[in-house]
Structure 1
Amino acid sequence: MAVLVTGGYGHIGSWVCHDFIKRGKKVIISGRSQHSLSYLEGLEDSIQFFRADVLDYASTFRMFKQFEDDIEGIIHVAGLMGGPHFATNPHNNIRINTFGTVDMLEAARIFGIKKFVYISSGSVYGKRDDVPDENTPVAPSDVYGAAKTSAEFFGLQYANEFGLDFRVVRVFFAYGPGHLPSQLYPLYQAVFGCLEGRLMVKMDAGADQQVDFTYVKDISQAIRLVFDAPTTKHRIYNCCSGWYATLPELVKITSRYAPGPVQAEFGPGRLMPRGPSLDFARISQELGYKPQYTFEQGVQEYAQWIEREQKRRGLK
Structure 2
Amino acid sequence: MIKKFLLISAFIIFAVSCSGNNSNQTSSNSIITNASEISNFLKKYDGRYYHQHEFTNGSYTHVAFRIENGNMYIGEDKTPASELYLSGNSLELNVNGNTQLSNTYNQIYSIIEVNLFDDHLKFSGKNIFDKEDFNIPDEDYIVIKQFKELGNYAGNYYIPTYDSNGQIKVKNYTILIDKEGNIYGYKGMTNVGMTFTLNGNMLQSEHNDKNNEKVIMSYELEKDRIIYQINFIYGKEYSYELMKSDIFTPYLGTYSSGDIIVKVEENNASINTAKGDYHSSIINGNDLTISEIFFENNENPIEIKEHKIIFSDDKTKASYTEPDGTTIELIKQ
TM-score range, shorter-chain basis?
A: under 0.3
Structure showing greater relative contact order (alpha-carbon pairs closer than 8 Å, 6 or more residues apart)? 1
Task: Return the TM-score normalized by structure 1.
Answer: 0.23
Give the helix-richer structure, 1 or 2: 1
Higher alpha-carbon Rg? 2
Give the strand-richer structure, 1 or 2: 2
